[in-house]
Structure 1
Amino acid sequence: MPFDPLAETFGRLATELFDLGGVEETVDAVVQFARQAVRCKHASVVLITHGRRPEVVALTDPGLADLYQLQIAAGAGPLLTTIEHEEVLLITDVATETRWPAQWVEVVTGAGIRSALHVPLMLAGRAQAVLSLYGEQPDSFDDDDVAVAHILARHASVAIASARHEASMAQAVDARKLVGQAMGILMERYDLDSTRAFEVLKRYSQHNNRKLRDVAQELINTRRLPHSD
């Protein structure tokens, strides 16, 4: 596989990924590019949510969702192994695998998949996503394919981390706006200054074990402070 054209393509990909902004849009672009760059049958990206539960974000074939749901339910499979060990996992022939439950082999081969390449995406110093590539024949991936997947994983990791940060910042801005509006309602209704209004919101948030933005949103919607539990 020639690398000079790929180097130019990867440079263009990096620019395109950062222009996308959203996490889902970024992940979908990674999956589509991976399928072309490695010439595999299917590709997917699974992200780890805040609860440390894998969540399928992008698939080239919706039918692949069953592969992941099976692993998540069983607590075993190459996806979880890749996350746990934070290492590239190459499966040359699914039909001969014995590391995971036989049901996994049946589902994968039933989907027409005979080989797979799983690459961890490192975010904030740990594996928080996995890029998976699937082939229809045994030994579908050679050393060049693994090298390309490594490069793509690095680009994807940076782009996804950036998209997540932007999404987090946008949520923080929205939360501040909601709190500001709620404070304004309290200040007008009860003749409070901004410090006292914020203290009231904070007290309700802590007492009811709810996020401050949720308390603010309810106040805005109902014009009343939430009932205490």
Structure 2
Amino acid sequence: MSDIDGEKLVEAMRRSADELSSPRGIRDLDVTLEQIVTSAVETIPGVDDGSISMTEGGRVDTRHPTNDAIRRLDETQNEFNEGPCLAALETPPDNGVVVAQDLADADADADAGRWPRFAPIAVEAGYRGLLSTQLRVAAGPLAALNLYAHDADVFDEHARTLAGLFGAQAALLLYGAENARHLRRAVDSRDVIGQAKGIVMERFTLDDDGVFQLLVQSSQETNMKLIEVARWLVGEVTARRSPETTGTAAATRE
């Protein structure tokens, strides 16, 4: 790579890092995914549209496609069980990048030959090039960034290198956003359990250990998770204290 290309690469990565690492993007997984797609399409040469494929519950879902045509093409790959996006998710090369330079090339050893059912549909939709790079770090969610091009042979060495580095950077942010989501759930659960403990402590005059044991016992006897017991208890108290409920109770007493 030339010095000029290197400078452009650093500039592009720095610009993408600024966009992707905004506080809201790190906190919100969905916002982060949308930023990844937008930044990649704007940054990587030759790219016209994009999306993210993400495995959830054993299935592959398309997230934040730049238009409906891209959503349909991603879904077509899932339907046929073939295509660069699935290849990047399942068995990508060492650099994590799968490239289709010309899906219109009908040669058996070319891209159309690798994905014979998907390729003609992509070309008919107006896309001859497709690059997909895996977004994954250890213990993180499995995803792939899909970059579509109207023209063939646009993914040169510079574009492929940039896509690979961008994918590694985006994977870390995706992992961070996913961890932030789990952390929020853990904090929310702790808060709800704390509220439930306060309610039980007030009603039964128990200390902290006694309250927790009571909640655990209730969880075991009802075959409900501890957090579910806590949410039910907090919900019941909240409903009783709501203005509507209070007004109804007052009217009944009258």
TM-score bracket for the superposition, by shorter chain length: 0.7 to 0.9
Q: Which has the larger radius of gyration?
A: 2
The correspondence for 2:101, drawn from 92, 96, 120, is 92
SS at match of 2:146: strand
The correspondence for 1:28, drawn from 15, 24, 34, is 34
Asked if structure 1 preserves the Cα contact closer than 8 Å seen for 2:84 and 2:99, the reply is no
After superposition, the Cα gap between the structure-2 partners of 1:108 and 1:192, relative to the gap in structure 1 and judged at 3 Å, is farther
> % of aligned pairs identical?
29
Quick one: distance in 2 between partners of 1:196 and 1:76?
Answer: 57
Quick one: distance in 1 between partners of 2:81 and 2:213?
Answer: 44
Please say if 1:187 is aligned against 2:194. Answer: no
The residue aligned with 2:189 is 175
After superposition, the Cα gap between the structure-2 partners of 1:194 and 1:7, relative to the gap in structure 1 and judged at 3 Å, is same
TM-score between the two structures when normalised by the length of structure 1: 0.84
Instruction: Please state how far the C-alpha of 1:118 moved relative to its aligned partner.
Output: 0.7
SS at match of 1:59: coil
After superposition, the Cα gap between the structure-2 partners of 1:75 and 1:210, relative to the gap in structure 1 and judged at 3 Å, is farther
Task: Work out the number of aligned pairs and report it.
Answer: 222
The residue aligned with 2:248 is none
The residue aligned with 1:55 is 61
The residue aligned with 1:162 is 176
Q: Residues 50-129 of structure 1 correspond to what in structure 2 (within 5 A)?
A: 51-87=57-93, 88-95=97-104, 96=106, 97-100=112-115, 102=117, 104-124=118-138, 128-129=142-143
Q: Which runs of 5+ in 2 are unaligned?
A: 107-111, 239-254
Asked if structure 2 preserves the Cα contact closer than 8 Å seen for 1:43 and 1:134, the reply is yes
> Aligned-residue CA RMSD in angstroms?
2.5
Q: Which runs of 5+ in 1 are unaligned?
A: 225-229
TM-score between the two structures when normalised by the length of structure 2: 0.76
Asked if structure 2 preserves the Cα contact closer than 8 Å seen for 1:120 and 1:127, the reply is no
Quick one: distance in 2 between partners of 1:112 and 1:122?
Answer: 29
- Higher mean Cα deviation, 143-152 or 33-42? 33-42
